[in-house]
C-alpha cells in the first residue's frame, strides 16, 4: 500500500529514458504543478553529471529531487563514476537516513551502458527493455516507447523519447509538450 501511495504523489511530470541501437536518450516535459494548477511550464528536469557521462531526470518535489541529485553526484564522485554502485549506495542512505526517507522524488539515471530507476522507497531498478519512465505520465510514455522500439526500430533513441513524451502529454494532464531531451 505504501508504494502505491508514494507513486500517486509523484504526478507532476513525465521522464523517460531509453537505450536503443547503442544510443541513450532521456527526456522530460517542462510542467510543474502545485496541487491542481500549473505553476510553471518550462522547468528543466534533466541534468548532466560527471562531465556529461551520466544523465539524470527527476520527478516529484523539485527541492527533494535536487537534494537527491546532489547526493547522487557525491556518490558518483566517491565511486569513480560507477553509476550502479553510486545508485546502490544512495539507495542504502535513502532507506536508512531519516531525512532522506521523507523526500518525495524519484530519479532516472543513464549512462552509455545502463538505465536505472532510483525510487523513493530506496530501490534501484534496471527496467526491462531498457526503457525507464517515472512520473504521472510514466505508463503512457513507457508503453509508447516499448511499442516504438519494437515496431519502429528505424527511429533513433531521441525520436522514440520525443514521440513517446508527446503521446504522454496528449493523455496526462500533468504532462506538457515543452520537452527537453538529452543524448549520450
User: Per residue in 44-59, is it b (16+ CB within 10 Å) or e — as a string?
Assistant: ebbbebeeeebbbbbb
| Nearest Cα to Cα of residue 48 among 93, 111, 127 | 111
Dihedral angle of Cα 60, 95, 78, 69, to the nearest 10 degrees: 10
Whether residue 33 lies in the annotated active site: no
- What is the distance between the alpha carbons of residues 103 and 124, in angstroms, rounded to a whole number? 16
Phi and psi at residue 132, in whole multiples of 5°? -125, 140
| Nearest Cα to Cα of residue 164 among 25, 55, 22, 23 | 25
Q: Which of 13, 14, 33, 56 is catalytic?
A: 13
Catalytic residues: 13
Amino acid at each position: 500500500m505504501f508504494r502505491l501511495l508514494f507513486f500517486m504523489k509523484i504526478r507532476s511530470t513525465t521522464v523517460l529514458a531509453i537505450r536503443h541501437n547503442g544510443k541513450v536518450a532521456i527526456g522530460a516535459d517542462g510542467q510543474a504543478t502545485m496541487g491542481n494548477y500549473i505553476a510553471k511550464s518550462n522547468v528543466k528536469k534533466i541534468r548532466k553529471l560527471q562531465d556529461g557521462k551520466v544523465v539524470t531526470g527527476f520527478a516529484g518535489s523539485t527541492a527533494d529531487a535536487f537534494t537527491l541529485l546532489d547526493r547522487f553526484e557525491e556518490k558518483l564522485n566517491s565511486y569513480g563514476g560507477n553509476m550502479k554502485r553510486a545508485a546502490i549506495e544512495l539507495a542504502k542512505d535513502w532507506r536508512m537516513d531519516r531525512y532522506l526517507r521523507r523526500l518525495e522524488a524519484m530519479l532516472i539515471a543513464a549512462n552509455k551502458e545502463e538505465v536505472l530507476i532510483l525510487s523513493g522507497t530506496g530501490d534501484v531498478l534496471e527496467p526491462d527493455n531498457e526503457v525507464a519512465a517515472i512520473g504521472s505520465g510514466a505508463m503512457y510514455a513507457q508503453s509508447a516507447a516499448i511499442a516504438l522500439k519494437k515496431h519502429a526500430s528505424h527511429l533513433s533513441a531521441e525520436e522514440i523519447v520525443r514521440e513517446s513524451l508527446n503521446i504522454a502529454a496528449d493523455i496526462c494532464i500533468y504532462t506538457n509538450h515543452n520537452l527537453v531531451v538529452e543524448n549520450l
